[in-house]
């Protein structure tokens, strides 16, 4: 019955958020203990969703214990406070509470969703997970086995192999280089004390961004925030992560894997989120390969030649670098052809830029797609946290369309030359034809 109620509430909230994104009222609130958050109060459905992020993701892992942050994320619901793993999961299940933890290179993020009547229980359990994780020895070994199993599977996956090789080559010796999940030998070195140390250093109030969406007013939201986060340390103890420029431009690296298709990852330097050219670059990249069916790469690689089911690339901005990262999977005997087309279209975009028609269509798509991406409470909360992490301002959603419209054709062509003119790093996993490793 609880699950049915949660589903009904979820569907109702989807309907409630079909209104334009600009119709949202975003409040900046401060909890009684002084923790700031953004709130969207929507009482139409008895549901509360929260997203949050701590600065300090896998880049905080010691090099010899890569995968620590990810291991912690898999352990936080495996018992906390006086609740062992089984009891903790039962409490979540009995109250239909959704609690998730995720790790990126720069951030440790989480989400929480519950019916209004169970919000106190939900925020109380989150407090236990963040402030008093148990990291029991038996749970650690059970989860370690799961982690190692995942790593073994990844070791034969061409997607994982190409991706790991790309990051390792692009950022050698830097915390961004190792895989977020770690490697088999580094996972074996991680102990409960390492996890407690990570939590102590990273989970702090000064490194925290929060967004809450749903059936809760500002006063109640403040109390819930304090319930979950107020007991955390005031300040984090993060290791410095240096600024870094991507390496490996012009290289093609091939790893042989006995599979019928070849997986290709390709990338180059990107644009920082606060670069004045970011929005122009965002639009131009969408035109070249931003994931839609109308992109140049999709049209040339998929539609005209049938070389792949899909091909795309995206801007990726981290706190200490920025890249363009793309990928495709193609027939082994046509891998060289696919890479040549990707390189040719990238060079053509750098030389000529987009057409006026392409620019107009991209602007229209990017404005509409953004609003459609804010159709649930959880998506809205996650986006509001990302806006805070990017320091774009509480009025960014209202300003975004104007920022897109302000990009001129001259801007787009100038930034295309800047963005796509330096070549790329390509990694391939499979039995590709027509492509060999170059150093």
Write out pLDDT tens, residues 237-281.
999 999 999 999 999 999 999 999 999 999 999 999 999 999 999
User: Has residue 245 been placed in a domain?
Assistant: no
- Specify the pLDDT at position 168: 98
- Specify the pLDDT at position 309: 86
**Hey, which bits of 276-395 come out as E strands?**
308-317, 322-331
Pick from 160, 194, 229: which residue ends a domain?
229
- Assess whether 294 and 176 both reside in one domain: no
- Assess whether 210 and 174 both reside in one domain: yes
- Assess whether 204 and 305 both reside in one domain: no
Give the number of domains in the chain: 2
Residues in the chain with pLDDT values less than 70:
1-23
User: Has residue 22 been placed in a domain?
Assistant: yes
- Assess whether 91 and 20 both reside in one domain: yes
Q: Which residue matches tokens 């959603």?
A: 397
What SS3 class is residue 51?
strand
Cβ neighbours of residue 186 closer than 8 Å, sequence gap 6 or more: 64, 65, 66, 67, 178
Domain that holds residue 424: 252-430
Q: Which residue matches tokens 């060999």?
A: 436
Cβ neighbours of residue 139 closer than 8 Å, sequence gap 6 or more: 75, 78, 79, 85
- Specify the pLDDT at position 371: 87
- Assess whether 273 and 197 both reside in one domain: no
- Assess whether 347 and 285 both reside in one domain: yes
User: Has residue 244 been placed in a domain?
Assistant: no
- Specify the pLDDT at position 16: 41
Number of Cβ within a 10 Å radius of residue 409 = 14
Instruction: Give the CATH number, domain containing residue 223.
Output: 3.30.830.10
- Assess whether 258 and 376 both reside in one domain: yes
Q: Which residues pair with 133 in a beta bridge?
A: 80
Pick from 197, 229, 261: which residue ends a domain?
229
Closest of 228, 184, 222, 259 to residue 431, by C-alpha: 259
* DSSP3 helix / strand / coil % (the chain, rounded to 5): 50, 20, 30
Phi, psi of 18 (to 5 degrees): -70, -20
- Specify the pLDDT at position 45: 87
- Assess whether 165 and 278 both reside in one domain: no
- Specify the pLDDT at position 439: 72
- Specify the pLDDT at position 132: 98
């Amino acid at each position: 019955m609880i699950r049915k109620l949660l589903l009904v509430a979820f569907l109702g909230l989807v309907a409630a958020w079909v209104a334009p994104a600009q119709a949202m009222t975003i409040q900046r609130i401060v909890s009684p203990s002084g923790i700031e958050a953004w709130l969207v109060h929507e009482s139409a459905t008895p549901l509360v969703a929260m997203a949050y992020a701590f600065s300090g993701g896998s880049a905080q892992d010691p090099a010899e214990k890569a995968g620590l942050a990810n291991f912690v994320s898999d352990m936080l619901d495996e018992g906390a406070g006086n609740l062992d793993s089984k009891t903790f999961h039962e409490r979540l299940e009995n109250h239909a509470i959704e609690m998730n933890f995720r790790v990126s290179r720069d951030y440790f993020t989480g989400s929480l969703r519950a019916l209004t009547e169970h919000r106190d229980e939900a925020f109380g359990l989150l407090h236990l997970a963040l402030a008093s994780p148990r990291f029991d020895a038996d749970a650690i070994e059970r989860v370690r086995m799961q982690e190692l199993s995942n790593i073994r599977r990844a070791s034969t996956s061409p997607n994982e192999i190409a991706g790991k090789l790309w990051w390792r080559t692009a950022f050698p010796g830097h915390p961004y280089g190792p895989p977020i999940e770690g490697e088999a030998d580094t996972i074996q070195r991680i102990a409960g004390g390492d996890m407690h140390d990570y939590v102590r250093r990273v989970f702090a109030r000064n490194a925290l961004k929060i967004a809450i969406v749903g059936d809760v007013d500002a006063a109640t939201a403040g109390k819930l925030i304090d319930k979950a986060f107020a007991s955390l340390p005031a300040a984090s103890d993060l290791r410095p992560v240096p600024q870094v420029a991507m390496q490996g431009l012009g290289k093609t690296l091939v790893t042989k894997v006995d599979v019928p298709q070849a997986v290709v990852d390709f990338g180059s330097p990107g644009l920082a989120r606060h670069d004045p050219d970011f929005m122009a670059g965002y639009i131009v990249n969408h035109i070249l390969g931003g994931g839609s069916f109308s992109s140049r790469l999709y049209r040339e690689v998929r539609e005209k030649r049938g070389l792949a089911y899909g091909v795309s690339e995206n801007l990726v901005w981290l706190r200490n670098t920025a890249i363009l990262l793309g990928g495709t999977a193609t027939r082994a005997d046509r891998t060289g052809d696919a890479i040549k087309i990707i390189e040719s279209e990238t060079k053509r975009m750098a030389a000529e830029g987009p057409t006026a028609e392409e620019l107009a269509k991209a602007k229209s798509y990017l404005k509409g797609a953004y609003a459609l991406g804010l159709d649930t409470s959880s998506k809205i909360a996650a986006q509001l946290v990302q806006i805070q992490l990017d320091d774009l301002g509480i009025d960014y959603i209202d300003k975004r369309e104007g920022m897109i419209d302000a990009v001129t054709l001259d801007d787009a062509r100038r930034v295309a030359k800047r963005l796509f003119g330096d070549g790329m790093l390509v990694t391939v996993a499979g039995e590709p034809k027509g492509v060999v490793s170059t150093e």
